[in-house]
Chains A and B, each alone.
Chain A
Amino acid sequence: MDVLHSLGAGLLHVLSFEDLPMLLLGLLIGMAVSIMPGLGLVMGVVLALPFTYRMHIEPAIILLTAIYVSGTYAGCFTAILYRIPGEPMDVPLLWDGYSMTQRGEAAKALGWALVAALAGGLISSAVMVALAIPFSNAALRFGPPEYFAAVFFGFTSIAALAGKSFVNAFISLCIGLWIATIGVDQTYSAQRFTFGMPVLMGGLPYVVILVGMYGLGELISRLGRGLPKIEKPPDEQTVGTSFPSLREMWALRATFIRSSILGTILGIVPGAGATITSFISYGIEKQYGKRRDQLGKGIPEGIVAPQIGSTASVAGHMIPLLTLGLPGSGATAVILGAFLLHGVQPGPMLFTSPDSKIVVYSILASLFVGVIGMCLMGFLWIKVVVKVLEIPQAVLVAIVMVFCIVGAYADRNSMNDVWVIVVFGLLGFLFERFRFPIAPMVLGVILGPLAESSFIQTMVSYNNDWTVFLRHPISGSLIGLSIIALAYPAVREILGRKSKADSIVLQPHVGGES
């Protein structure tokens, strides 16, 4: 009851004059960036971050969360209508979504995507609200070994989920962990890889690295590929949405439930972003769905599963962020940055004081409002929204480039950060060029310091006895899961050789989103 009461109070905050405009703005930004190819939702969150510096914490976080959640939805428009995936997570929507469009069922396909986003968003938000308090209670029992194990699990799962590019993902992760060690170390104040340069002593700011790798890097590779004019399909279809009937939805109930649970749970795992969730949901549908044989030929399951997966992962990601202060993806890392800029450290302590509790519940309530709001906008304004595609690419790239660099500077008013973003922009370009996934590296940079400090705290607390990681129930289970995650690619390889026909496409090119 207390939870519902808090949620109600949060809802009132969200509908206030201060928060609601930010929520709507966030939804619009999220839609715009996820439709434009080359701009991901992480970029949207990153670009909006400097504008939140002067805001109150609540509207700031609500703005960023709204960008995040609607960024997982709007990409379906262009994927289904024009076969242009706005984000990597929209790729699974192409297979069935565009097939339906070719059969002239575009409106129906869009309707399914809307229903899926709504269901995935609401179910996972509800699960998250229910889990927030138990999670934060459990989080208080999270000591250094548990934190280390959770981060370790994140590292292993992101490498494992990279599928065929496991080795590349692992290298990428190690580069990220190495970058995280640059600077004066947190525990013993030793200088590492600073080469005596004062710029490097404080370490490299992860927000700037994020903007460089995801933003600048992608822009540079687009310049390298040339800037094709996006051509709309020859037959200007009537862009609209028609909803599936209740009976049709009932027929897909298994897909709805399966994907919602999968999306939320995968969201909790650090490292499994919306893209990975979307691909896995599709993959699971392909293996266990009732109509798995027809998947890929234009059936609603192929739209519903990935769409639910990616939208549900948002709420899933917010749980470890709010209760443990553990960002599992690029977007949540930026949201964590916004929390810290406002002097609030997310973690179990957030739930102990009434002041911060109302902020948390406002953020949770904003997810419900945001999910409903984005679906309404998608329904009503879809024609306007897809107009974004008509902005000339050259202009768009130039504008975004300026925003990236200004954003890097604005983070700390530091010219050094501008050079940092340039370096990481080039690195991002090279990663893309040589097919190294970016997400593991970024995750290494973000979570590396936490992994290190919690490891050292554990070693000090338990007299250098490393078996404590295995002996504590929570950390032991997480380490066990990590080992399974590491062994999984090898096992799959062996099984895959045995029955190649059954193997499913599970290798997203995890470049644009984490």
Chain B
Amino acid sequence: MNRTTFAASMLGALGAATVATPQLARAEDAYPSRPITMIVPWGPGGGSDQVGRAVAQSLQDVLKGTSIPVINVPGADGNDGMVRLVGGDADGYTMVIFIADTFVGNMTSKSAAAWQLSDITPIAMMNTMPFAYYLSKDSPYKDWASFEKAAKTTQMRVAITGYGSAEDIGTKYFASKGGLKLTQVAFAKPGERYAALLGNQVEVMCDPIGNVSHYVEAGQMKPICVWAEKRLGVVPSCPTAHEVGYNVVLEEWRTIAVKAGTDPKKVAFLDRALAAAYKTADFQAFLKSSWSNPDSYLSAKNIPAFFAARRNDVNALIAATH
């Protein structure tokens, strides 16, 4: 992939040199005229990182000549990366992958959040997939029922990405509804989280299903309860939360956003470009291999209503937690 990036940026440089030279006066109008950085506010190797890189790759193919370097800015539940975006210029040259965890974290943050939802302009929904609980292959429990039974009397550690995230809110609901003894342990880096489950540092892990698809396929992790409306075709034997008596539907979703105040023309340009990127064969193949919902896409104008609906879901879940 990086060789392609390199080739693309070389082509971009050549293109810029040949096209832009006679039109120096117009250089300000041409957008994009330099690389657009994609901030992934999560560690490398995780689901958001994979999505960020897949989007960057497809967007790069669509924009032909603009390279989209990806940088990881993990920390504080995605807040560090968001702060990086918000602290920069609204010039349309920095994008961020803004996801459900950060959204929920921003909603639930007790202290004043370092940034507000109004500080960003979402452009496109690129990927959605439900959360699920997983056991490691060496776990003494074999399914949700046996885990739930044990969790009523035994303290269980749950690996989550961070406090105030969707996983955290959902897990609190499970603990409250079922009278389960669950302790959330935050592992911001996906690699650490997976190693914690596989190394039996925690009893159970909560993560979006697609992030760990290859561990599930390899039999190293076993999904025991998926927070979706209906069972997933990829893991048909795994029950939904609803089936096991918990009224929770929570999805991980990932949008691409820029800083609020970015020129509407640039936003419209990126809106079109991301729609095209979503349709590329490469991105479609990525959605399939990452177990994402096949109809994930939403354009810029539909996202505010989606955010409002998710806000209601989360508030309802918090209200149902005692």
Contact = CB atoms under 8 A, between A and B. Distances in A.
A129 interface: no
Nearest to A191: B114
A352 B218 CA distance: 10
Contacts of B185: 144, 457, 460-461
Interface in B233-262: none
A202 interface: yes
B80 A184 contact: yes
A141 B69 contact: no
A86 B21 CA distance: 46
B116 to A, nearest CB: 13
A325 to B, nearest CB: 7
Contacts of A348: 195, 199
Contacts of B184: 460
B80 A57 contact: no
A201 B72 contact: no
Point out which of B5, B83, B157 has the most chain A C-beta atoms below 10 A from its C-beta. Answer: B83
A190 B199 CA distance: 29
B189 A461 contact: no
A343 B76 contact: no
Contacts of A142: 195, 199
A189 B105 contact: yes
A456 B185 CA distance: 9
B70 interface: yes
A143 B201 contact: yes
B111 interface: yes
Interface in B254-302: none
Contact of B114 (A57, A184, A187): A184
Interface string A329-365: 0000000000111111101110011000000000000
Point out which of B80, B105, B157 has the most chain A C-beta atoms below 10 A from its C-beta. Answer: B80
Contacts of A353: 214
Interface in B163-210: 163-164, 183-192, 194-196, 198-199, 201-202
A53 interface: yes
A352 B198 CA distance: 11
A344 B194 contact: no
Contact of B75 (A203, A325, A413, A457): A203
Contacts of A347: 191-192, 195
A457 B86 contact: no
B69 A53 contact: yes
A102 interface: no
Interface in A429-456: 453, 456
A461 B160 CA distance: 12
A140 B197 CA distance: 9
A22 to B, nearest CB: 13
Given A201-B80, A202-B84, A203-B80, A343 B192 contact: no
Contacts of B53: 343
A349 B76 contact: no
Interface in A229-254: none
Interface stretch (B37-45, B123-131, B222-230, B314-322): B37-45
A143 B199 contact: yes
Contacts of A463: 155, 183
A185 interface: yes
B87 A201 contact: yes
B8 to A, nearest CB: 10
Band of interface residues on A: 35 or more
Nearest to B113: A189
A201 B76 CA distance: 10
B232 interface: no
A185 B76 contact: yes
B71 interface: yes
A344 B44 contact: yes
A17 interface: no
Contacts of B189: 345
Interface string A200-213: 01110000000000
A55 interface: yes
Interface string A44-88: 000000000111110000000000000000000000000000000
A380 interface: no
Contacts of B198: 140
Interface string B1-38: 01101100100000000000000000000000000010
Nearest to B10: A54
A349 to B, nearest CB: 5
Contacts of A187: 76, 162-163, 186, 188
A186 B44 CA distance: 16
A186 B185 CA distance: 13
A430 B141 CA distance: 58
A143 B199 CA distance: 8
A199 interface: yes
B111 A143 contact: no
Nearest to A146: B201
Given A203-B80, A460-B183, A412 B71 contact: yes
B77 interface: yes
B75 A141 contact: no
Contacts of B37: 413
Interface in B60-93: 69-73, 75-77, 79-81, 83-84, 86-87
B163 A186 contact: no
B187 A457 contact: yes
Contacts of B44: 339-340, 342-345
A54 B43 contact: no
A187 to B, nearest CB: 5
A140 B199 contact: yes
A358 to B, nearest CB: 16
A404 B109 CA distance: 39
Interface in A123-140: 139-140
A347 B45 CA distance: 11
B49 interface: yes
A228 interface: no
Nearest to A143: B201
A141 B2 CA distance: 33
B32 to A, nearest CB: 14
B219 to A, nearest CB: 12
Contact of A143 (B49, B155, B196): B196
A186 B196 contact: no
Given A143-B196, A347-B195, A457 B2 contact: no
A54 B202 contact: no
A217 interface: no
12 contacts: A54-B6, A140-B198, A187-B162, A187-B186, A189-B162, A201-B83, A202-B75, A342-B2, A343-B70, A347-B191, A349-B191, A463-B155
8 interchain residue pairs of minimum CB distance: A198-B87, A143-B201, A345-B191, A140-B199, A343-B44, A189-B76, A184-B76, A54-B6
Interface of A: 53-57, 139-144, 183-191, 198-199, 201-203, 325, 339-345, 347-349, 352-353, 412-413, 453, 456-457, 460-461, 463
Interface of B: 2-3, 5-6, 9, 37, 43-45, 49, 53, 69-73, 75-77, 79-81, 83-84, 86-87, 105, 109, 111, 113-114, 155, 157, 162-164, 183-192, 194-196, 198-199, 201-202, 214, 220
Given A201-B114, A344-B44, A461-B157, 18 more contacts: A54-B5, A54-B6, A56-B2, A56-B3, A140-B198, A143-B201, A144-B185, A184-B80, A187-B186, A188-B163, A189-B111, A202-B73, A202-B84, A343-B45, A345-B43, A349-B45, A349-B191, A463-B183
